[in-house]
Amino acid sequence: MESDKTENLATFEAFALDPSVLDAIREMGFQNPTPIQERSIPLILERKDLIALAETGSGKTAACSIPICHKVDPKSTRVQALILVPTRELALQYATETQKIGRFKTVKAFALFGGEDMQMQRAKLKDGVQVLIATPGRLIDFIYARAIDLTHVETLVLDEADQMLGMGFYEDLEFIIQCLVHEHQTLLFSATMPKQIREIAKNHMREPLEISLIMKQSTPETLTHQFFFCQQPKKRAEELLTLLQNIEPKQCLIFVNSRRDVEELHRSLKSKLIGVDFLHGGLEQNVRTIITNKFMKGKIRYLVATDIAARGLDFSNVTHVFNYHFPFDNETYMHRAGRTGRSGREGTCVTLLTARDLSQAKRLFKLLHKTPEWLKEPPSSQETGQARGFQRKRPPRPKT
């Protein structure tokens, strides 16, 4: 069932939210609701089950956190809203945003994820948490240990649902949902609609309304796509350094396809630039958290990362994304590019290409519906022709 609610709400006041939540929104600088917030908040407040298709950077976190904070009973210390997310970084981001929105209402939000001491997390839960943001694996640890009470959950949120399924969490999600045997509201947010999401909706949601805000254009008009052809792949690091020195981005993400290459490129750039750091899934959780927070606060200018930074995280000050390696598929390209040009801001995605990448790049150009904008000279017709005849078998995707 699809919602046809199209009324244009100019301000957050039109939602009739709790005054303390409105005060927090104003203090955070929120002025007008984004399209996903405009469409979804009224339905969430009406306690409807909802499937919302929206891209990263559309304001999904606040679209959930605002109505959840409105509905929370601050006098109760029970978990009233459970939000499942795929990564630790997104859990922390969600908790921080929810804490800000609910601060004047004294809403307590907490991020539960692996890599942290379970006894300390258990103590925090006993102290009282009303909005719990969790990764599936660690939540199941607590369920098996009978260390968490979910019997008072009124709202279940599955955010970045397609990414959780892509990471192999389908059975975990099924198990968690089945633990919530009482009546509750279910909200599902995703950028795509794979078959398994349909199965979850069919099995566990009550006549869910659907809204889709996936734009027909592949990427926002505020996002510029540029390409740089590297004739000599061995000089790719030198070419990137020259680009960074010439462009002088205010803040940028540099995506690399493997952990080893992330560290190698980081060493190369760190000796030439100020404000360089790196991020990948092999780092200790506390280190990843520190780096992510420093980057969000603008203390890191150049962040070299694997695709662990490509989805969910809101790096609102990123002006440029650089693809040091061509992504494994076009969907990954879209998620990487989506780290900039967010919420109406201008952004630029610069992709370095070698002759081996040209065949897949041509498919990307068709998807973007744009003539490629080349920095320096584009590949010659001979190189393009060779690429057409070269069938490249991509290696297995490395760990991020």
Encode pLDDT of 265-312 as tens digits. Answer: 999 999 999 999 999 988 887 888 889 889 988 999 999 999 888 776
Q: How far is CA 67 from CA 21, 71, 283, 313, 397, in A?
A: 9, 6, 35, 21, 38
Question: In this structure, which amino acid lies at residue 136?
Answer: P
Task: Answer yes or no: is pLDDT of 124 > 50.
Answer: yes
| Rounded percentage of the chain residues whose pLDDT exceeds 90 | 55
What band does 389 get if pLDDT is binned at 50, 70 and 90?
very low
Q: What is the pLDDT of residue 400?
A: 64
SS in 3 state form for the chain?
CECCCCCCCCCHHHHCCCHHHHHHHHHCCCCCCCHHHHHHHHHHHCCCCEEEECCCCCCHHHHHHHHHHHHCCCCCCCCCEEEECCCHHHHHHHHHHHHHHCHHHCCCEEEECCCCCHHHHHHHHHHCCCEEEECHHHHHHHHHCCCCCCCCCCEEEECCHHHHHHCCCHHHHHHHHHHCCCCCEEEEEECCCCHHHHHHHHHHCCCCEEEECCCCCCCCCCEEEEEEECCCHHHHHHHHHHHHHHHCCCCEEEECCCHHHHHHHHHHHHCCCCCEEEECCCCCHHHHHHHHHHHHCCCCCEEEECHHHCCCCCCCCCCEEEECCCCCCHHHHHHHHCCCCCCCCCEEEEEEECHHHHHHHHHHHHHHCCCCEEECCCCCHHHHHHHHHCCCCCCCCCCC
CB contact at 8 A, 320 and 247: yes
Q: What domains can be seen in the chain, in order of their start residue?
A: 12-212 (3.40.50.300), 223-389 (3.40.50.300)
What pLDDT was estimated at residue 57? 64
Is pLDDT above 80 for 393? Answer: no
- Would you place residue 214 in the very low, low, confident or very high pLDDT band (cuts 50, 70, 90)? low
**How far apart (Å, rounded) are the C-alpha atoms in residues 138 and 94?**
16
Q: What digits encode the pLDDT tens for the residues 159-179?
A: 988 888 877 888 999 999 999
The whole-angstrom separation of Cα 60 and Cα 63 is 5
Per-residue pLDDT reduced to its tens digit, 318-367: 999 999 999 888 878 888 888 887 666 789 999 999 999 998 898 888 88
Range among 24-38, 120-134, 219-233, 308-322 with highest mean pLDDT value: 120-134
Residues 223-275: pLDDT tens digits? Answer: 899 999 998 989 999 999 999 999 999 999 999 999 999 999 999 999 999 99
Among 44-48, 208-212, 368-372, which is the least confidently predicted range? 368-372
